[in-house]
Structure formats: structure tokens, C-alpha cells
């Protein structure tokens, strides 16, 4: 499993703690320093079954500066481009499971699902 991790994020810390407690191996990707490419973000979105605006952090200063809240949902490639240029806009943590799925690991339910699927 790979975690798109921000070390300053409490939700990322909770994901690491949950996986550690369950002895689930993972690697950390410091996605702020190693942003995903547009192709990688498209692939993760497909694994999540989500659109880019569904995992965009609209409260971030860059989102406000760019006016993302007013963009609408007609141009996914435009969203992907701006999110890879400003990785702080990407929701965290994203868990990329070894079985080909991905989850946004912000809730206890999502983390329990990741632990369960890691054991399969």
C-alpha cells in the first residue's frame, strides 16, 4: 500500500497509526515534495471512482486564489492540471491499495476498509 502523505496532517497521522497497529505494510509518498503527474492523478482518480473536484481541497489558499469554487465541473483535465501544479489541493491521505483500489483515508470507516482489504 502507498499513502500520499503530508506529515503535518492529523488525518495522515491517523492513517499511519491505524495501519501500524494492524501491522499493514505501506510506503509513504510525500506528495507535496513528489507531486503526482497528471497521468498518475488520473489513474488514482479512476481507482477512487471519483472526479478531481471531489478530492480537491477548496479551502486551501491556492484554491481561493485560483477561484476553484467557481470553476464548475465541465473540465476535469483543467482540475487535474492545477492539482498537480499545486499538490496541496489534493485531499489527503490517499491510500493506494495493492489490490488496485484506492481510498481517501479520512474516516475510521475508510481506514478499516483499507486494513480489511490489505489482509485479503
Question: What whole-number percentage of the chain has pLDDT above 90?
Answer: 97
Q: Could you tell me the CA-to-CA distances from 16 to 25, 35, 50, 55 in Å, in that order?
A: 10, 20, 23, 20
First to last CA, the chain: 13
C-alpha 22/C-alpha 25 separation (Å) is 9
Provide φ and ψ at 107, rounded to 5°. Answer: -120, 160
For the chain, domain boundaries: 2-118
Q: Would you say domain 2-118 falls under CATH 3.30.565.10?
A: no
Sites in the chain below the pLDDT cut of 50: none
pLDDT in tens, 94-118: 999 999 999 999 999 999 999 999 8
pTM reported for the whole predicted model: 0.94
Amino acid at each position: 500500500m502507498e499513502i500520499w502523505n503530508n506529515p503535518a496532517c492529523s488525518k495522515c497521522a491517523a492513517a499511519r497509526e491505524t495501519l501500524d497497529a494492524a501491522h499493514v505494510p505501506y510506503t509513504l509518498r510525500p506528495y507535496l515534495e513528489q507531486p503526482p503527474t497528471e497521468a498518475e492523478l488520473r489513474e488514482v482518480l479512476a481507482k477512487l471512482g471519483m472526479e478531481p473536484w471531489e478530492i480537491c481541497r477548496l479551502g486551501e489558499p491556492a484554491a481561493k486564489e485560483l477561484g476553484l469554487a467557481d470553476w464548475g465541473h465541465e473540465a476535469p483535465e483543467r482540475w487535474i492540471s492545477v492539482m498537480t501544479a499545486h499538490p496541496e489541493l489534493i485531499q489527503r491521505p490517499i491510500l493506494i491499495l495493492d489490490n488496485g483500489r484506492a481510498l481517501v483515508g479520512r474516516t475510521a470507516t475508510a481506514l478499516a476498509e483499507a486494513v480489511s482489504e490489505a489482509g485479503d
